[in-house]
Amino acid sequence: QQQVKQSPQSLIVQKGGISIINCAYENTAFDYFPWYQQFPGKGPALLIAIRPDVSEKKEGRFTISFNKSAKQFSLHIMDSQPGDSATYFCAALKGGSYIPTFGRGTSLIVHP
Amino acid sequence: DAGITQSPRHKVTETGTPVTLRCHQTENHRYMYWYRQDPGHGLRLIHYSYGVKDTDKGEVSDGYSVSRSKTEDFLLTLESATSSQTSVYFCAITGGGQDTQYFGPGTRLTVL
């Protein structure tokens, strides 16, 4: 049973465009939602994270939008750059848990 | 970067041979994890540890065992490697609170 569903599996965007990756979850006990970025040949690294008490969090060109009622959250990359080309994973954790549930990842390619 | 190293970084082995992967951290963090990453499956948890000699199974633990005799080292053993265990293996640690996982650089394992 996939508890965090991520879409799309792959995404191609032109430089300067907006990249949008969506995740949906089922377990209402989740209360922490991080996004990880992984470059080829490297391990994933935390990009940005949000808790359900806010609907949006922005860090530079990266924004998480959170819809608690719909049990969905999304990553928006504004002014996408070729250097953003990577695999992105969403994740969710329950309060007090140290075991994240990961989405299956989205491969983003930004064409120059 | 969090102080996490994995060894070896690459390994080719034959079906039926035992294989041990090592994860070493210098952060003195309590939680350590082993994941495997395969195309289309994202990151799947194999085993994790919540302290010295305290380990538990993840979602894909069959065929794998782990040991943690010191805070800084977490070993993953494939007792008898199979071709289905060809994958990229990542070690991770959780620092401080539950918030962030830090990943190692990965080990690419090929079982012929």
Parallel, antiparallel or unpaired: strands B107-111 and B10-13: parallel
In the prediction, which pLDDT does B100 show? 83
- Strand blocks (E) in chain B: 4-7, 10-13, 19-25, 31-38, 42-51, 54-57, 64-70, 73-78, 87-94, 101-103, 107-111
> Does pLDDT of A1 surpass 60?
no
Interfacial residues of A (vs B; Cβ cutoff 8 Å): 6, 9, 32, 34, 36, 41-46, 49, 89, 93, 96-100, 102-105
Interchain pair A89, B42: CB under 8 A: yes
Min Cα separation A28/chain B (Å): 18
> How high does pLDDT run on average in chain A?
94
Confidence at residue A67, expressed as pLDDT on a 0 to 100 scale: 94
Closest-CA residue to A108 (of A83, A87, A77): A87
Among the listed ranges B38-42, B75-79, B88-92, which one has the minimum average pLDDT value?
A: B38-42
Q: What is the pLDDT of residues A25-55, one digit of tens each?
A: 999 999 999 999 999 999 999 999 999 899 9
Q: For B48, phi and psi rounded to 5 degrees?
A: -140, 165
In contact, A32 and A92? CB cutoff 8 Å: yes
Residues 6+ apart with CB under 8 A from B47: B33, B34, B55, B56, B57, B58, B61, B64, B65, B66, B76
- In the predicted model, is pLDDT for residue B1 greater than 60? no
pLDDT given at position A2: 65
Residues with Cβ < 8 Å from A80, sequence gap 6 or more? Answer: A13, A14, A15, A16, A17, A18, A19, A61, A108, A110
Which two structure tokens, joined as six digits, stand for A10?
């792959």
Give the pLDDT band of residue B73 (cuts 50, 70, 90): very high
- Among the partner-chain residues A43, A45, A104, the one whose CB lies closest to the CB of B41 is A104
CB atoms B31 and A98 under 8 Å: yes
> What is the layout of strands, in order, in the sheet containing A72-77?
A4-7, A19-25, A72-77, A62-67, A56-59
Residue with tokens 């620092």: B95
Instruction: Say which residues have a Cβ less than 8 Å from residue B40's Cβ, sequence separation at least 6.
Output: A9, A104
Between CA A71 and CA A49 the distance in angstroms is: 15
pLDDT, residue A96, reads: 80
